[in-house]
Structure 1
Amino acid sequence: MTVIVGPKTKPPEAIKDASMARQKQMVNAHYDRLASAKERGEKVAATFVPGNLNELLMCFDMVNNLPEVNAIQNGLRRQSGGYVMEAEKLGHSEDVCTYVKSDIGMMAKGNIGPNGKPLPDPDVLLLSYTGCFTFMKWFELLRRQYKCETIMFQTPYLADGRITKDMISYMVKQLRQDVIPKLERISGVKFDIDRLREYLRKSAKAEDDHVWVLQSAKHKPSPIDAYFGGIYYIGPIFGAFRGTDDAIEYYKFLRAEVEQRIAQGKGPVTPDGDMGQERYRLVVEGPPNYTNFRQFWKMFYDEGAVVVASSYTKVGGTYDYGFRHDPDRPLESLAEYCLNVYTNRNLPMRVDMLENYINEYEADGLLINSIKSCNSFSAGQLLMMREVEKRTGKPAAFIETDLVDPRYFSAANVKNRLESYFQMIEQKRAGFRGAA
């Protein structure tokens, strides 16, 4: 018998709202700038998202390259799987963070960025250490590769759950005596604190609108998805645009867009268009899977599930807890920013945050996406889940995927667990109605 196989059809183009398209254009423009930095005589600094000092780097005319963002972009483009396997061929363990392996594999394959152009070698590695030990080992590997200088900006871990004056003084001293002098020497640009103040003033303005957008999810229906859609919304504020006019304009534009959705009574935009009826409101802990991002998201909106708050969208700053960059206290403000990021918070602080989100956003429960290769997030998540369940009385569930390694995304397994969880929520609702 002859079997005729028709041509493979491409999935339909994902629908994006205007702000998502604009964010994508900003990211692409930044990669083009990065790729041509050396031609223009610009220095390049590699740094990480949690606790990144973008405003300070701009004071030295440096272009910001974010290695984990490169891994995310390659994951979304389904290129990271090959890079991860290449890194494993070079001897890196299966248990190593797949952001790291995607980055190492990309370097081994010519260091071609997500825009298809070679990324320049960094002139300096700036590590604002904010709780993720992997970052230190990652930069050791990069330093060995690029033979460039590394600046370590040590952030005290919030083991006791509070920021002290001594912590801030310790960090300001590092900035004055180590970080800034080295950036001056490497860049050849003299530090200007008034220039930093201006960038921080712009950051605070963008941060106000960013928080307004996140908190719009308190509306019913929520006009945004704060996890999947939130990935787009956090990009400019967490990366290379904080402190710029572009960030101010982006968040002003995004806010207007969300205000319109609220006025029209609409839910979030999904890759398949406007989401249907909102049936479940969730809080999510942990990063998403990027290699199957669209498929993963579809499992939620097909069931009418919207994420109204997530911890992952706080890795680059907990602005919705009141922090703003302060131009009147520039160096102290940079220190407080690093201290406040989610990865630098202890488990009780994380539990408190998740509990508050469930209560404030009137969520139906907590969902944890445990990432196989991310110990910074995964350690303690089962304990956190049980504690949040106990405090809120709302059901919680646990799924498992990975960041940018497609081998660890089992669609059938994730879908089954999600469907079971939504049934759990329905049973909880039925029990509540029965008791009433």
Structure 2
Amino acid sequence: MNTVISMPETRKAKPVAIKEDAMNLQKELINANYRDLAQAHQQGRKVSATFVPGNLNELLMCFDFARSLPETNALQNGMRKKSGKMIMDAERDGQSEDVCTYVKADLGMMMGGEVGPTGDVLPRPDVLLLSYTGCFTFMKWFELIRHKYGTETLMLHVPYQGTGRIDPNMRNYVVKQLKETIIPGLERISGVKFDIDRLRQYMKESVKAEEDLVKVLQSAKNRPSPIDGYFGAVYYIGPIFTAFRGTPEATEYYRVLCGEIEERIRLGKGPVTPEGDMGEEKYRLIVEGPPNWTSFRDFWKMFYDEGAVVVSSTYAKVGGLYDFGFRHDPDHPLESLADYCLGCYTNLNLPSRIDMICKYIEEYEADGLLINSVKSCNSFSAGQLLILREVEKRTGKPAAFIETDLVDPRYFSAANVKNRLESYFQMVKQKRTTGIGADMKPVFQIHPASMGA
């Protein structure tokens, strides 16, 4: 799960990554948040920790919390090549190899003096706000942190969308918890009285950013696509999925980003890659599953070297399904928070996820589906083979697996991934020219396999 700030620093000398102005602006925003966190306790501010899917950022701002997101911390450490040692430290401390590597990277960071991705020491949180949205790991993760720090935990239980829809009783259940448990708890811990008009004002800003984000993501319907909806999108979703949704800074970020994308469309340009403008668009893909962060730049290069652009991805929706119409509603703020939590991608059942992917393939005129099956992320990986088979059957488009991990460098085999991608692009080409391929299971079914170092 979760968002990215800067291109990874590597031990090998590489050319400086080329970025859009909005990418640099996003980096400045997130780095500023790390500085804010580092200084929070000295400035008398309380600190909250919460997760990306279903995060209640607007609500937390009402209580003046400095806001930390453990997933973002883990992936940032992964991109900076710091997570490998953290993970091994956590395993030596007793964590299993199969535990989510975000969790182990976070625990390892704590064991190493809590030095964050930017080199600033991150403060111990004063409250753990857990809004469960389809990932049981979140609960165990915060249980471990609570045991280490003795930090108070506020639990917002969010019902799973087992039927594929949000029923009124589900919404009412979440709102009741907000009123009776979450808001009183945040008032007590922060010492700040809740002001619903303040929440409404933050939501007005959220809506502006959400409108512009949808314009950016849906710009990929153009040919060529001016964005990459997976590797590029992790920059675009950063401010809105983390500590900036509801702020004027996020509104300004998406205004700048929209302007850049509109100019790329006008000029007929494809996405900006770390090596400059992408060349000819040869393949249009939908991708399911989170990216690999420890080799992010090398991973992306495997795609754009082949002329493959991801026009839409499920990962870019993990923090909100804005392109399906959701917007925060200042007129019904608590109900809006409930709907946001209930509607996150990881809280959807498999039929809903399949419907979404099939819709993307049709609307974005994609050539097929590629699944990055992440070894340690059950929230995404469970059911992906079923998703692959059903999408192939319903769309007639080829689908395939690759397998990596989130932030564990031991589970990224560049040669293995590259070979699978090249085979997949050959299948797409064959399907285009002959109409044969998607029904040839021995050709297409590339199953996950263990990847050693």
TM band (smaller chain):
over 0.9
Match in the other structure for 2:439: none
Aligned with residue 64 of structure 2, among 56, 61, 65:
61
Aligned with residue 416 of structure 2, among 413, 418, 424:
413
Letter in 2 for 1:78: K
**SS of 2:162 mapped into structure 1:** coil
C-alpha distance in structure 1 between counterparts of 2:334 and 2:143, whole Å: 27
Match in the other structure for 2:429: 426
Q: Does 1:81 find its partner at 2:74?
A: no
Q: Does 1:191 find its partner at 2:170?
A: no
Letter in 1 for 2:369: L
Q: Does 1:261 find its partner at 2:264?
A: yes
Alignment of 1:196-207 (within 5 A): 196-207=199-210
Aligned with residue 167 of structure 1, among 149, 167, 170:
170
C-alpha distance in structure 1 between counterparts of 2:217 and 2:257, whole Å: 11
Listed one character per residue, the Cα deviations across residues 382-412 of structure 1 (whole Å, up to 9, x for unaligned) are 0000000000000001000000000000000
C-alpha distance in structure 1 between counterparts of 2:298 and 2:17, whole Å: 11
Match in the other structure for 1:26: 29
Letter in 2 for 1:100: V
The runs of 5 or more residues in structure 1 that have no matched partner are 1-7
Shift of 1:50: 0.3
Alignment of 1:391-406 (within 5 A): 391-406=394-409
Match in the other structure for 1:367: 370
C-alpha distance in structure 1 between counterparts of 2:315 and 2:200, whole Å: 28
Shift of 1:9: 6.0
Alignment of 1:13-412 (within 5 A): 13-412=16-415
Listed one character per residue, the Cα deviations across residues 36-58 of structure 1 (whole Å, up to 9, x for unaligned) are 00111111000000000000000
C-alpha distance in structure 2 between counterparts of 1:105 and 1:9, whole Å: 24
Listed one character per residue, the Cα deviations across residues 186-226 of structure 1 (whole Å, up to 9, x for unaligned) are 00000000000000111011100000000000000000001
C-alpha distance in structure 2 between counterparts of 1:397 and 1:168, whole Å: 37
C-alpha distance in structure 2 between counterparts of 1:387 and 1:411, whole Å: 28
C-alpha distance in structure 2 between counterparts of 1:89 and 1:110, whole Å: 16
C-alpha distance in structure 2 between counterparts of 1:174 and 1:9, whole Å: 50
Does the C-alpha gap of structure 1 residues 58 and 287 become closer, same or farther in structure 2, counting only changes over 3 Å?
same
C-alpha distance in structure 2 between counterparts of 1:396 and 1:349, whole Å: 18
> What count of residue pairs does the alignment treat as equivalent?
426
**SS of 1:307 mapped into structure 2:** strand
Q: Aligned-pair RMSD on alpha carbons?
A: 0.8
Letter in 2 for 1:92: Q
Shift of 1:115: 1.0
C-alpha distance in structure 2 between counterparts of 1:54 and 1:430, whole Å: 49
C-alpha distance in structure 2 between counterparts of 1:189 and 1:321, whole Å: 35
**SS of 1:289 mapped into structure 2:** coil
C-alpha distance in structure 2 between counterparts of 1:346 and 1:20, whole Å: 33
C-alpha distance in structure 2 between counterparts of 1:76 and 1:27, whole Å: 14
Letter in 2 for 1:94: E
Listed one character per residue, the Cα deviations across residues 175-195 of structure 1 (whole Å, up to 9, x for unaligned) are 000000000000000000000
Listed one character per residue, the Cα deviations across residues 258-302 of structure 1 (whole Å, up to 9, x for unaligned) are 000000000000001100000000000000000000000000000
Letter in 2 for 1:30: N
C-alpha distance in structure 2 between counterparts of 1:420 and 1:222, whole Å: 23
Shift of 1:17: 1.0
**SS of 1:397 mapped into structure 2:** strand
C-alpha distance in structure 2 between counterparts of 1:216 and 1:175, whole Å: 36
Letter in 2 for 1:128: S
C-alpha distance in structure 1 between counterparts of 2:118 and 2:429, whole Å: 44
Relative to the length of structure 1, the TM-score reads 0.97
Match in the other structure for 1:3: none
C-alpha distance in structure 1 between counterparts of 2:19 and 2:92, whole Å: 37
Detail structure 1 runs of 4+ shifted over 2 Å in the superposition. none
C-alpha distance in structure 1 between counterparts of 2:86 and 2:38, whole Å: 20
Listed one character per residue, the Cα deviations across residues 293-333 of structure 1 (whole Å, up to 9, x for unaligned) are 00000000000000000000111000000000000000000
The runs of 5 or more residues in structure 2 that have no matched partner are 1-10, 437-453
C-alpha distance in structure 1 between counterparts of 2:83 and 2:267, whole Å: 39
**SS of 2:163 mapped into structure 1:** coil
Identity %: 70
Relative to the length of structure 2, the TM-score reads 0.93
Letter in 2 for 1:106: M
C-alpha distance in structure 1 between counterparts of 2:12 and 2:121, whole Å: 31
Shift of 1:117: 1.1
C-alpha distance in structure 2 between counterparts of 1:114 and 1:432, whole Å: 48
Shift of 1:432: 3.8
